[in-house]
Every structure is written in C-alpha cells, then in structure tokens.
Amino acid sequence: MSNGLVRFAAASASATALLVFGLNGTASAPPAGAPVRIVDADNASLAAHVDAGGNLQVGGTVGIDSSTPVSVSSSDDAGRRAFEVGGFSPWLDGFHADMGFTVPEGQRLVIEFVSFDAHTETGLNIQAFTVETAQTYMVVPTKTLTPGPVRVIASQAVRLYADGGSRVRLTGTLTESGTGAGGMFASLSGYLIDCSAAACS
C-alpha cells in the first residue's frame, strides 16, 4: 500500500471516529408529550434539573439541532388575556383628576403602557401624572404649545403589577387649585393572568 493510501485510510478512520463522537451528543426530537432529560454523557452530575424554586438550572453549553424545530412559549400563556381601560375625570375640587378600577379577584394585572392627556384653564399648570398600584409611579408630563387652555400629555412604556382585589389609580395633579375647568383623559393597557391557570407567584 502506498504512503498516500495509508494517509488517506488513517484520515478516514479519524474522521469516522470524530463523526461518531459528534453524533453521540446530538439530540433528537422525543415523541409528543414525552419528558425531555438534558444530560452530559461524560458527567452525570451536570444533568439539567429544576430547583426548589421551580427554576430550570442548566450548566455548560447547550446545543440545538437546527434541523429540529423548537417551540417556546410562556408558562402563563394559557391564562393570559389582553386588558385595557380608559376614561375621563374632571379636575375634582379644582386640584386633581382621579380615575381607577379594581383588578378582578383571582387575576394578576400586568400593566405595559400608560397614557395621559389633560387640559386646564389658562394659567394652571399640571404638576404630575401618577400610576398607583401597591406603589406609586410618576410619569413625566409634556406641555404642548397650543394657544388657549394649557394642554399636557404623557405616555410611557412600563412594567407594573397589581394583584386581584387591589385598586389601580391614574391621577393628575395641578400645581395650584383653580376653578376646576377641564380634566384628564387616561388609559392603560397590558394583560391579565388567570391565577387558576398559571401560578401568580
């Protein structure tokens, strides 16, 4: 056998060994509904596991076979429902506007966006907009340059939470008391999680 054939045979054998080694770590799609166990064939102590808090713990590098589609979804998708609310409040006692609602029992509200649009008689300035859940969050107002009554708007992407039975309030506050002319439009959007379908923890 010539030296060239010997080298070719040795290279082929090495390539075959590498291919077999590589295939040994390749995942294949399990039957529908079957549990999936992620392990390191060389070190059983590195198997992926769920800790006491319900979190998936994975160490090292995870590879995915690109030829096999992988579906990903949130665990609370089954209990998620779009939610939005809005309305108008006059300047109560000439000093503040206030609107609110109660989150349904057994639900958790996730607020993702809030918007305010308020106007007052000339000379009265709007000091702040707030969103109240268990905490109070400030939204920065922006004064528009229009003649006549003062108009102030604000909109902001947020991530706020409110549990079932709690009160959510959207308020606007003037820097000083006036005649009460004008008022505030406010709205928010997000989604509700049904705590009976997905744990609200």
Residue 113 has φ and ψ, to the nearest 5°, of -155, 140
Query: What is the spatial distance between Cα 56 and Cα 132, in angstroms, rounded to a whole number?
Result: 33
Domain boundaries, the chain: 3-57, 77-194
What CATH fold (topology level) applies to the domain 77-194?
Answer: Jelly Rolls (2.60.120)
Enter the pTM of the model: 0.59
- pLDDT tens for the 201 residues of the chain, in order: 554 444 444 444 444 444 333 334 444 555 665 666 666 667 766 677 677 766 677 665 555 555 666 555 565 566 789 999 999 998 877 678 999 999 999 999 999 999 999 988 766 778 889 999 999 999 988 876 666 677 888 999 999 999 999 999 999 988 776 555 788 999 999 999 998 887 776
